[in-house]
Structure formats: C-alpha cells, structure tokens
Amino acid sequence: MEKTKGFVYILTNKSFRDDWVKIGKSSRTVDVRSKELDNTAVPLPFDIFATIQTVKYGEIERIIHKQIDRLTDLRIRQNREFFNVEPEQALDILVDLAQAIDDAIVMKYEDGKPYQIYPENNIPRPKKTDRKMQRKPFSFSMVGLKVGDIILFDPIGIKVKVAGDNKIEHENRLWSLSNFTATFMPEKMRNHSDAYQGPKYFSYNGKTLWQIRLDNENSM
C-alpha cells in the first residue's frame, strides 16, 4: 500500500518578528493548514515561506525541530512549534534533509507563489515585487569584527570578547549572542517571549552590531 504524502511547512507572520517562524506538519495542503491557524489569537494571517512534501513528513518535522533545538536553543516555548530563527536558516535545514530522501520536493514561496528549489528544475521563479530581503544569520565577520575584539553588552555594560564568527567569551565560557542576552538581560528589560535578537543588544565603538550590519548592507 502506497503511503500518503504530507507536508512540513515553514510559516511566517507579519505580526511577529522577522526571525520568528512556525514549523509544523500537515497531511493536507499547507494553504488549508495556514488558514486554520488564522484565528483571533494571531493579529494577522500566516504566510507560507516554504514546504517540503514527502511520505516521511512526520519524521522530517521531528528532525528539524530537534536540529533547531540542538543548534540554536531558540524554541520560543518548549511545547510549541514557534522558533526564534531566520526563515532562510530553517529552509537550509529542510533542503539538507530533502537530499537524504528519495521523494522529497521543496517549494519556496515568494509573494504567495510557490516555486521548486529542490530537486532543481528549469522553471523560472516568480518575479519579485516589494519583497523584504531575507537576511542571513548574523556573524561577526559581516560587521568587520574578529576574534579578540571587545564588544559591550549594553543593557548592563558588560564587556565580552569575540571568540568566533558567532560566539563570544565571558568568564571562560562561550555563548551565542542570543543566549547571552536571554541569560543576562535585566528583569525590567525582558520581553514577553524571552527570546532576543542578540546583535541589537551589543555595541562596538558606540554603535549596535545590528546598526553596523544595516549600514554595511546599505552601502553595498
């Protein structure tokens, strides 16, 4: 008996932060599932960012959740399918998983229209309109910093040392920017989700790492 194919989806929402996604599964088409999630608890409808279709969709969902938990520790709430991760980063994991599955098809959506990115085909992708640029995960090299440089954690004025392209060192322990922020953020400055974009809370020579990144992007 042939197994039924299903989907693992990456959804974004304009009422959420740019680096928040929902990753789940559905045995039905994803546009149906995204409409089911459109309720009074969410101010705006979900947008489909990408999908993978395969008979192993249940297994794929478990693996991608585990991968993100292992690599980033950025699940917004442990019993939910929401993650503090860039959509493109989640999509990269989907494509990696697809390469190990015979029947996997990965679709990416632009302006609500899907196009196939794995396996690659020659069908042209939809033309961009006013779509926001998807940013790559932050790294120190993109703002000109190197191992040994000192940056400041602005909320409480702690100086920390750059220890890799995406790691800092404090008291002989390595941290990601986001995990350090979530750990040392003063109680009065914490947000409801307790998830943070680390580069917005660290500065170098009086500018936040986030602003340095934006300046670099705008100068290209």
pLDDT digits (tens, 9 = 90+) for 106-161: 999 988 889 999 998 766 665 554 444 456 788 999 999 999 999 999 999 999 99
C-alpha–C-alpha distance, residues 58 and 110, integer Å: 25
How would residue 1 be classed by pLDDT, with cut points 50, 70 and 90? very low
In the predicted model, what is the mean pLDDT of the chain?
Answer: 83
d(Cα 177, Cα 19) in Å, to the nearest integer? 14
Q: What is the pLDDT of residues 187-211, one digit of tens each?
A: 888 876 566 788 999 999 999 999 9
Q: What's the confidence (pLDDT) of residue 131?
A: 44
Q: What is the pLDDT of residue 203?
A: 96
What is the rounded end-to-end Cα distance, in angstroms, of the chain? 55
Pairing of strands 168-170, 173-175: antiparallel
The region of weakest confidence among 25-39, 53-67, 89-103, 117-131 is 117-131
Question: Which of 72-76, 118-122, 149-153, 215-219 tops mean pLDDT?
Answer: 149-153
Does the pTM surpass 0.75? The reply is: no
Q: Which residues fall within 8 angstroms of residue 119, CB to CB, at 6 or more apart?
A: 105
Tokens of 16: 């959420």
Do 142 and 219 meet the contact criterion of CB atoms below 8 Å apart? no
Of the two residues 137 and 49, the one the predictor is more confident about is 49
Beta carbons within 8 Å of 106's beta carbon, 6+ residues apart: 50, 51, 52, 91, 94, 95, 98, 116, 117, 118
